[in-house]
Amino acid sequence: MKKPKSDFIPAGVNIIYSVIDRIEADANKVHLGGGKILNYDFLIVATGTKTFPEETAGLREKLWYKEIFDFYTVEGAMTLQKYFKGREGGKLVMSITELPYKCLVTPLEFVFFSRCLFYRIGYT
């Protein structure tokens, strides 16, 4: 199930999704697309990241979401979960194919959690 982003925003927080035209750091102002100007005391810019598996040669070919997966998308994570449930063993290769990635520790956490899962279900 995918939850709306608004479910994670605390009450009283006004979140704005907009293009930033420019930032005047010396004046503590952000100029948004459409002409709106925001004044700030502290500025945090979270640009986010998107996955582009097609930029890695061979990744999105016939084995994509069959034996090769991402876990940064809902579709990828759900497909990977189904794949793991039907496996009876084998080897796992974790590859970081692009930078920046969404979270520095996520690839490591994935490998650690996978090892724990494999141990629990009898993979060696």
Q: Which residue has the tokens 């956490």?
A: 109
Does the pTM surpass 0.85? The reply is no
Separation of alpha carbons 87 and 92, rounded Å: 11
**Domain definitions of the chain by residue range:** 5-39, 53-120
Give 38-84 pLDDT, tens digit per residue.
999 988 777 767 788 888 888 899 999 998 998 888 899 899 989 88
First to last CA, the chain: 31
